[in-house]
Amino acid sequence: MNFGHMAERNARMVAIEDRPVEKGDITIIDFEGSVDGVKFEGGKAEGHELEIGSGSFIPGFEDQIIGMKIDEEKDIKVKFPDDYFSEDLKGKDAVFKVKLHEIKKKELPEINDEFAKDASEFETLEELKNSIKEKLEEENKSRAKYETEEEAIKAVCKDAEVDIPSGMIETELDNMVKEVETRLSYQGMNIESYLQMINKTMEEFRKEGEEQAKNAVKTRLVLEQIIKDEKIEPDEKKIDEKIEEMAKMYGKKKEELKENEHFVDYVKGALEQEEAITFIVDNAKIK
């Protein structure tokens, strides 16, 4: 964790009343969209909170909010992307009637002893720094273990003859792109502006990720095979302990999570993979 993230988490919202919208502001808007004068489902909201520059709306929408004043109404013209998930809307020109109600801005606290006291259980910035240093050292230890696991898995997968259907690689690439989009959204960016920044097309970006996707699928298939061959099946006690650990993490009751079959299957699958990785590490000769 770094202080930037902590400051961000401890930011407070300040109302802005003396200027128009700027990039990075959080706006409260009403909007209603139409295509060829016809309103469409899901195109209307009131009191919607939108961070300008987050890339969470259709390209071009947020840019046109910049410069709007409180209580101003405006027609925003945008074009739905050709790869938009809705068949009826992809590639269509749309008009959104927008009314701006509020402008807010995150005000980051000054990073000092006062901040340490407010943001953590520590009294001074020095104590907070030491705690973060300890956490990083712990992370480095687990990273060293992870690298050993990764080397072992690589060694096993290298020799494994696996025929991977191209559809599985495409699905893995889709998931990789989604993951990148999520990470970028935390930084207030979208994939389009990121691709512009690195000067690549989506096609080139996917092509570069092909090897990584192939390895990820191959690893998954090899682990599944080991689970099958070695008849790996985590015992109920382990599953129970893991669910209890996750219940604490999510602030839920263990019994509540145990009622959800999909969740129990997910936990079981994760434990099977863990045991398969342990099996590989114990048996692989790492050169």
User: In this predicted model, what pLDDT tens digit does every residue of 22-44 receive, in sequence order?
Assistant: 998 989 999 999 999 999 877 88
pLDDT tens track for 217-232? 888 888 888 888 889 9
More confident site: 274 or 110: 274
Mean pLDDT of 43-53: 88
What integer pLDDT is reported at residue 67 of this predicted model? Answer: 95
pLDDT tens track for 100-144? 999 988 765 444 455 445 544 555 556 655 665 666 677 667 666
CB 62 within 8 A of CB 54: yes
Is the Cα dihedral 272, 273, 279, 282 positive or negative?
A: negative
What integer pLDDT is reported at residue 258 of this predicted model? Answer: 86
Mean pLDDT of 149-164: 74
Give the count of beta carbons closer than 10 Å to the beta carbon of residue 123. 11
Is 70 exceeded by the pLDDT of residue 208? yes
What integer pLDDT is reported at residue 117 of this predicted model? Answer: 55
Is 70 exceeded by the pLDDT of residue 52? yes
Helix (H, G, I), strand (E, B) or coil at 267: helix
More confident site: 2 or 256: 256
CB 164 within 8 A of CB 217: yes
CB 175 within 8 A of CB 206: no
| Range name among 101-105, 146-150, 202-206 with the lowest pLDDT average | 146-150
Core vs surface per residue 7-37: b (16+ CB within 10 A) or e: beeeeeeeebeeeebeeebbbbbebebeeee
Is the Cα dihedral 108, 109, 111, 115 positive or negative?
A: negative
CA distance 202 to 81: 13
What integer pLDDT is reported at residue 20 of this predicted model? Answer: 95
CA distance 231 to 235: 12
| Range name among 87-96, 173-182, 187-196, 208-217 with the lowest pLDDT average | 187-196
For residue 226, the surrounding DSSP H or E stretch is helix 202-229
Is 80 exceeded by the pLDDT of residue 268? yes
More confident site: 78 or 148: 78
What integer pLDDT is reported at residue 90 of this predicted model? Answer: 86
Amino acid identity, residue 212? Q
Is the Cα dihedral 161, 163, 166, 171 positive or negative?
A: negative
What is the gyration radius of the CA atoms in the chain, in angstroms?
Answer: 25
**CATH, domain 3-107, list 3.40.190.10, 3.10.50.40, 2.40.50.140, 3.40.50.410:** 3.10.50.40
Amino acid identity, residue 35? V
CA distance 28 to 37: 24
Residue carrying the six token digits 């690195």: 198
CA distance 54 to 184: 9
- How many Cα atoms occupy the beta-carbon half-sphere of 96 within 13 Å? 27
